[in-house]
Amino acid sequence: MDSIKSFKGYGKVNEIEEQAFKRKTRRRLIILIVSIVVLLAVVIGAVAGILIHKRSISSPNTVPPTELTPAASLKAVCSVTQYPTSCFSSISSIASSNTTDPELLFKLSLRVAIDELSRLSQYPNKLKAETNDTQVRSALEVCGSMFEDALDRLNDSATSLEVGEGEKLLSDSKIDDLKTWLSTTITDQETCLDALEELNATKQFNATLLEEVKAAMQNASEYASNSLAIVAKILGLLTDFNIPIHRRLLGFQKAGSEFPAWVSPTERRLLQDSKPTPNVIVAKDNSGDVFTINDAVKLVGKKNESRFVIYVKEGEYVENVILDKNKWNVMIYGDGKTKTIISGSLNFIDGTPTFATATFAVAGKGFIAKDIGFVNSAGAAKHQAVAMRSGSDRSVFYRCAFDAYQDTLYAHSNRQFYRECDILGTIDFIFGNAVVVFQNCNIQPRQPLPNQFNTITAQGKKDPNQNTGISIQKCSLTAFGNLTATTFLGRPWKEFSTTVIMQSNIGVFLDPAGWKEWVANVDPPSTIFYAEYQNSGPGSSVDKRVKWAGYRPTLSDVDAVKFTVGTFIQGQDWLPDATVSYEPAL
């Protein structure tokens, strides 16, 4: 996230782009309406064909039934996407696309996306070889790692569709997984562009390079979006095509439960146990197994299915830690969020891409952190400086602290849950494109640089079918120290930004407008979703809030429940494994 000084880079939508987007949105709306009409015609034709076929059994003189053709089926499936032309042309070019089964067509869309992203994955290395600029090369390294991660998410999606004989190809829970992983695939690719665009505030900005990368990414981005759109609409399509699908109930845990249901009983015990039995102990005083957290991380096996526990004794550990995508099911805990501290100081001003400034970064699934503090000590003058970056699917942070200024907590992607955590910062200090719930947390804006204002959140939803957003529930929003700067709940970073503040106590520090546009004096697009629900405290009044088309000063109970742990992050599927308290509903 860029500072108030320039407000350029890292995904900013400028005024020209804003106007172009509005024109594009109107055009897409017209296309969507036409596509819906076409889709209804196809479905009606299919149903009519079935009825005619049934009647022909009892009436041998009936005219042969009209059958749904593979081409018509593919057009119907592609009509729900953002890019129907590329959807149809890319899938129809495959020999095995001669099918009317939307599930098989979805699998083919994944194959197309995987093939294209595989070709794209080596492109950053080619560009790196053509430049000696350190900052440009660092941004391209972000692109390379993001393309690899996106490819992994696509392969995970394809693998999840491999089922045994008699098993159902799709279930509600599997569709939730697919939505999450495909949303992450799009976020990963967008993060590459963010890393290049944020250079526009520096001498290293290369507009030509940025446009070249955008052009090279176009097919991969569109194909991933197409797959996401198909799976996001698949339940309706399967119903229309009369293909049965298993539907589960929400399965909320009882209200007294403190953790989402996907935290299993085993993981709950780990979180509730004050000192779980560790696999390795980190201690600065020679009383443990290793001296540094990085030494402990080296002992974690590749893609562990079982939990690997790291205990970090009291002390400040000055190091940057990365748990890559192959470090699964790691738990790290300390002696308290003010006693065990991991501290770093990487920052954008000194030449590091925002994505890479994180003191602690985790990508491997199933991560748990408890009773530990994460700090980026670079300070406000260094602008973007991340304390924690998480792209870990089904990750849990319990009784942790995140302390920095601009861009403190980067909830990058996938499903995340934060409970009883302290989060301090200035500009966009909770940002990213995860599907994330903050519950019972202390969120504390602090004094920024002179002439800067604070924005607590900056959500980065780029595609309308992504299941992402920020939900802040039952939290306390209070000023940290002497806060005199104008402070807002957040600002929409991307075209479909989604943020809901509900059942929280908001302090007197908040500007009555509540929210801030990204481009000064330009309302954000109507496609954003910003809302408040049943908040309290002196800053909770919505009487003088912004009048954006995409802002809702209140929600119905039915709409609000969509942003709870049970519904938004499907907590009942995975939090029972993490032994962390949570409230699944309102």
Q: What is the mean pLDDT of the chain?
A: 85
Give residue 8's pLDDT.
37
Give residue 48's pLDDT.
35
SS (H, E, C) 86-136: HHHHHHHCCHHHCCCCHHHHHHHHHHHHHHHHHHHCCHHHHHHCCCCCHHH
Tell me, yes or no, whether 570 and 466 share the same domain.
Answer: yes
Tell me, yes or no, whether 319 and 340 share the same domain.
Answer: yes
| pLDDT tops 70 at residue 55 | no
pLDDT tens-place string over residues 242-257:
455 443 332 334 445 5
Residue 284 lies inside a defined structural domain of this protein: yes
Tell me, yes or no, whether 400 and 291 share the same domain.
Answer: yes
Provide the domain limits for residue 347.
276-377+384-418
| pLDDT tops 50 at residue 158 | yes
pLDDT tens-place string over residues 446-469:
999 999 999 999 999 999 999 999
Tell me, yes or no, whether 317 and 457 share the same domain.
Answer: no
Give residue 57's pLDDT.
43
SS (H, E, C) 428-484: EEEEECCEEEEECCEEEECCCCCCCCEEEEEECCCCCCCCCEEEEECCEECCCCCCC
**3-state DSSP assignment of residue 377:** coil
Q: pLDDT-based confidence at 171, cuts 50/70/90?
A: confident
Give residue 272's pLDDT.
66
Give residue 240's pLDDT.
46
Q: pLDDT-based confidence at 351, cuts 50/70/90?
A: very high
Tell me the CATH number at 79.
1.20.140.40
Please say whether the dihedral angle defined by the alpha carbons of residues 71, 74, 79 and 84, taken in this order, is positive or negative.
negative
Give residue 555's pLDDT.
94
Instruction: Report the distance separating Cα 438 and Cα 475, nearest Å.
Output: 7
Give residue 252's pLDDT.
32
Give residue 165's pLDDT.
60
33 or 472, which is more confident: 472
Q: pLDDT-based confidence at 374, cuts 50/70/90?
A: very high
Catalytic residues: 428
pLDDT tens-place string over residues 325-339:
999 999 999 999 999
Q: pLDDT-based confidence at 116, cuts 50/70/90?
A: very high
CA-based nearest residue to 457, from 525, 528, 374, 400: 528
Percent of the chain with pLDDT over 70: 79
Residue 54 lies inside a defined structural domain of this protein: no
Q: pLDDT-based confidence at 160, cuts 50/70/90?
A: confident
Tell me the CATH number at 528.
2.160.20.10
Distances (CA, A) of 238 to 103, 169, 444, 569, 570: 8, 12, 46, 23, 22
**HSE-up of residue 129 (Cα within 13 Å, Cβ side):** 5
| pLDDT tops 60 at residue 84 | yes
Phi and psi at 29, nearest 5°, equal -65, -45
Strand ranges (E), 225-307: 280-282
Q: Where is average pLDDT lowest: 364-373, 376-385, 459-468, 555-564? A: 555-564
Tell me, yes or no, whether 455 and 358 share the same domain.
Answer: no
Contacts of 82 (CB under 8 A, 6+ apart): 28, 222, 225, 226, 229, 463, 464, 465
Last residue of a domain, one of 396, 418, 440: 418
39 or 93, which is more confident: 93
Please say whether the dihedral angle defined by the alpha carbons of residues 32, 37, 42 and 47, taken in this order, is positive or negative.
positive
**Segment 12-38 mean pLDDT:** 51
Tell me, yes or no, whether 89 and 223 share the same domain.
Answer: yes
Residue 573 lies inside a defined structural domain of this protein: yes
**3-state DSSP assignment of residue 401:** strand
Last residue of a domain, one of 220, 241, 262: 241
Give residue 37's pLDDT.
45
**Segment 485-508 mean pLDDT:** 97
pLDDT tens-place string over residues 61-83:
545 545 678 898 899 899 999 99
**Segment 386-394 mean pLDDT:** 97
Tell me, yes or no, whether 414 and 490 share the same domain.
Answer: no
Give residue 268's pLDDT.
64
Instruction: Report the distance separating Cα 417 and Cα 580, nearest Å.
Output: 10
Report the number of distinct structural domains present in the chain: 3
Give residue 51's pLDDT.
35
Residue 64 lies inside a defined structural domain of this protein: no
Model pTM?
Answer: 0.86
Q: H or E element: which one contains 224?
A: helix 207-240
Q: pLDDT-based confidence at 54, cuts 50/70/90?
A: very low
